[in-house]
Amino acid sequence: MIPRELIRKKRDGEPLSADEHRSFVAGVTDGSIPDYQAAAMLMAIYFRGMTDHELSAWADAMLHSGDVLDLSSVHVPKVDKHSTGGVGDKISLPLAPAVACCGVAVPMVSGRGLGHTGGTLDKLESIPGFRVDLPVERFREIVSTVGACLIGQTERIAPADRKLYALRDVTATVESIPLIASSIMSKKLAEGIDALVLDCKVGTGAFMKTVDAARDLARTMQAIGAAAGKKVTAVLSNMDQPIGRAVGNALEVEESIEVLRGGGPADTRELTVALGAEMLLAGGVVTALDEGAAAVRRVLDSGHALQKFREIVAAQGGDPRAVDEPKRFLPQAGACLEVRAQRAGWVGSIFSEAVGMAALVLGGGRRRKEDMIDPSVGITVLAHIGDRVEKGMPLALLHHRGDDSADDAARRILTAYRIVDEPLPAVPQLLLEVWR
């Protein structure tokens, strides 16, 4: 196998065989194919796409580049959730403990931030001591005893995707349906799950900007899941504005804790409940969606989900005091800057990608794959779509390090907001479609 020849074939639109896909993925895994050739293949796939046969072979090769976990010793349904990426999307943090309280185990292999979107692992690592690099044996043990565990890809779980994921982030090849679908499904199928719920984001802050593109992604992932004998539910949700108020790692952990205390922003709680209900339905522990939603609300309001989150944090080496006193034990930025409206009116739209990029330039994301993230920085979104604002009223609060990045981020926030003269006829719907 000559990598250059496979790159050329894909560049020229020729389909690769299953053996060629397996050989290339194996070379990425063992390091015999360098980053520059892997990046070239990613770009070729971005422009040329894949046939159904190619996608199946590529996803299978990535899945079997490492271990496929056996969780048969966990005697309850095992269901995971994955989001395709959004601005302020911290839903996994309250969702996993809430669902674990309802009789479903959640083995969750998560990712880091991609482009303008945050990553679950980066958020969790803002909790002092929290480990996302647990060995497979410890992951299995925590899933069995606690009911949920959230880790990253290890050397043994989809290692090819771990390498390609980082390259996609810095080579502008994130927004490719075959690459997104195979990346997600290779990790998820390696977890030993029975079912999967996908939150496919749609809108200005999502990689899929249109409903049609999100549907294509949902169908592609469902096809990969069906080939592996797994039930996959896809929820299409609105990403035309950030979820909740917090955008940034420690800030999003704090908002997640608010939801686990029975509060938090209405949209953050709504999406947690909706996805939790789908997970319980997919796992077969409820027979109706309303029943699942009621169960999730109960554990959020009663404090049981909060206690489960404490258990998860402690089991993964984190300081559980951060759950009880987040402002004391989570990283805090050294400075704040208000971004004020330049005219009066109503918030007609928010270009969410610009908000995500503002968080990135503050230090909350990566420009290069080796960049370190500052967990303390981020944005508190104060004005949402449909809100009335007056001139000089704060639209957002920037949490920053006292450097020049705040000025750049403030400019991005101002360009993200469109202020209109008349109130909107309706606030955008959060949940768009469900594919079961």
> What are the Cα distances from residue 174, in Å, to 327, 398, 411?
34, 27, 25
Q: Identify the three-state secondary structure at position 203.
A: coil
How far is the C-alpha of 375 from the C-alpha of 197, rounded, in Å?
Answer: 28
Q: Pick the catalytic residue from 183, 256, 376, 405.
A: 183
Closest CA to 229 of 192, 200, 198, 183: 192
56, amino acid identity:
S
Q: Which of 80, 89, 161, 374 is catalytic?
A: 161
Which one of 187, 188, 297, 399 is the catalytic residue? Answer: 187
Longest alpha-carbon distance in the chain: 64
Is the distance from CB of 173 to CB of 207 less than 8 angstroms?
no
Active site (annotated) includes residue 187 = yes
Separation of alpha carbons 139 and 153, rounded Å: 11
304 in active site: no
CA distance 305 to 108: 17
**Is 161 annotated in the active site?**
yes
E strands, 242-385, are: 246-247, 335-340, 345-350, 378-381
CA-nearest of 285, 206, 214 to 434 is: 214
Catalytic, out of 48, 116, 168, 201: 168
User: Is residue 235 a contact partner of residue 106, using CB atoms and an 8 Å limit?
Assistant: no
> CB 397: neighbour CB atoms within 10 A?
18
**Amino acid identity for residue 336 in this structure:** C
Residue in 82, 162, 308, 400 annotated catalytic: 82
| Phi and psi torsions of 433, nearest 5° | -150, 160
DSSP-based three-state secondary structure for 389:
strand
CB 148 within 8 Å of CB 97 = yes
CA distance 100 to 64: 28
Q: Which residue has the tokens 């403030």?
A: 410
Residues forming the active site: 82, 161, 168, 183, 187
